[in-house]
Structure 1
Amino acid sequence: MEISSSQRTIVKEINHKSFIYIRIYNDGTVERPSESKYVPPILDDSHPILNSKDITISQNPLVTARIYLPKLTKSNDQNQLQKLPILVYFHGGGFIFESAFSQVFDNYFKTFVPLANVIVVSVEYRRAPEYHLPACYHDAWYALNWVCSHSTANKNPNYVEPWLINYGDFNRVFIGGDSAGGNITHNIALRAGVEALPGGVKISGAILSHPFFYSSYPVGSDHDYGDDDLAYAVWDLIYPSAPGGIDNPVSNPVDPGAPNLATLGCSKMIVCVAGKDDLRGRGVWYYECVKKSGWQGKIELFDEEKEGHDYHILKPKSKNAQKLMKLLVSFLNE
Structure 2
Amino acid sequence: MAAKNIVRPVFDNPFLNIIVNPDGTVKRDPEARNPSNSDPNCNSSVLSKDVVLDPTKNTWLRLYIPNMAAPPPSAVKLPLILYYHGGGFVFCNADSSIYDVFCKGLVEKLGAMVISLDYRLAPEHRLPAAYEDAVDGFFWIKNAEDEWITEYADLNNFFLAGTSAGANLAFHGGLRFAAMAGELEPLRVRGMILHHPYFSGTKRTGSEQKLANDPLLPLYAIDQMFDLSLPKGVDHDHEYSNPMAKDGSKNLDEIRRLGWRVLVTGCFDDPLVDAGLECAKMLEGKGVETVRFFDDGYHAMEVFDPSMAGPLYDVITNFIFSYAT
| C-alpha displacement of 1:241 | 1.4
Q: CA RMSD in A?
A: 2.5
Partner of 2:212: 226
2:277 is the alignment partner of 1:284: yes
1:189 aligned partner, one-letter code: G
Distance across 2 between alignment mates of 1:292 and 1:176: 21
2:170 aligns with one of 164, 185, 188: 185
Partner of 1:215: 201
| C-alpha displacement of 1:97 | 0.5
Contact kept? 2:244, 2:278, Cα under 8 Å: no
Per-residue deviation, residues 23-68 of structure 1 (Å, max 9, x unmatched): 22225664223x6322211111113412101110122223201110
2:278 aligned partner, one-letter code: W
TM-score, normalised with respect to structure 1: 0.82
SS at match of 2:19: strand
Q: Which has the larger radius of gyration?
A: 1
2:323 is the alignment partner of 1:332: no
Partner of 1:254: 244
Distance change in 2, residues 1:50/1:26 (3 Å): same
Contact kept? 2:226, 2:241, Cα under 8 Å: no
| C-alpha displacement of 1:280 | 0.5
Partner of 2:96: 102
1:144 aligns with one of 131, 138, 141: 138
Partner of 2:179: 194
Distance change in 2, residues 1:224/1:178 (3 Å): farther
Distance across 2 between alignment mates of 1:201 and 1:99: 25
Unmatched 5+ residue regions in structure 1?
Answer: 1-15, 151-159
Per-residue deviation, residues 264-305 of structure 1 (Å, max 9, x unmatched): 36611100000111111100010011111233xx21010112
1:47 aligns with one of 30, 42, 45: 42
Distance across 2 between alignment mates of 1:125 and 1:143: 9
How many residues are matched? Answer: 301
Equivalent residues in 2 for 1:47-86, closer than 5 Å = 47-48=42-43, 49-72=45-68, 82-86=76-80
Equivalent residues in 2 for 1:128-139, closer than 5 Å = 128-139=122-133
Per-residue deviation, residues 68-97 of structure 1 (Å, max 9, x unmatched): 01123789xx96783101100110000000
Distance across 2 between alignment mates of 1:280 and 1:54: 33
Distance across 2 between alignment mates of 1:17 and 1:172: 36
SS at match of 2:309: helix
2:86 aligns with one of 72, 83, 92: 92
SS at match of 1:23: coil
Distance across 2 between alignment mates of 1:218 and 1:30: 26
Distance across 2 between alignment mates of 1:262 and 1:62: 34
Moved over 3 A (4+): 16-22, 27-30, 72-75, 78-82, 219-225
Contact kept? 1:63, 1:143, Cα under 8 Å: no
1:252 aligned partner, one-letter code: N
Partner of 1:267: 260
Greater shift in the superposed pair: 168-177 or 186-195 = 186-195
Unmatched 5+ residue regions in structure 2?
Answer: 1-11, 214-218
Distance change in 2, residues 1:17/1:56 (3 Å): closer
Partner of 2:8: none
% of aligned pairs identical? 28
Distance across 1 between alignment mates of 2:210 and 2:221: 9
Distance change in 2, residues 1:226/1:20 (3 Å): closer
Partner of 2:192: 206
Distance change in 2, residues 1:219/1:26 (3 Å): closer
Partner of 2:157: 172
1:137 aligned partner, one-letter code: Y
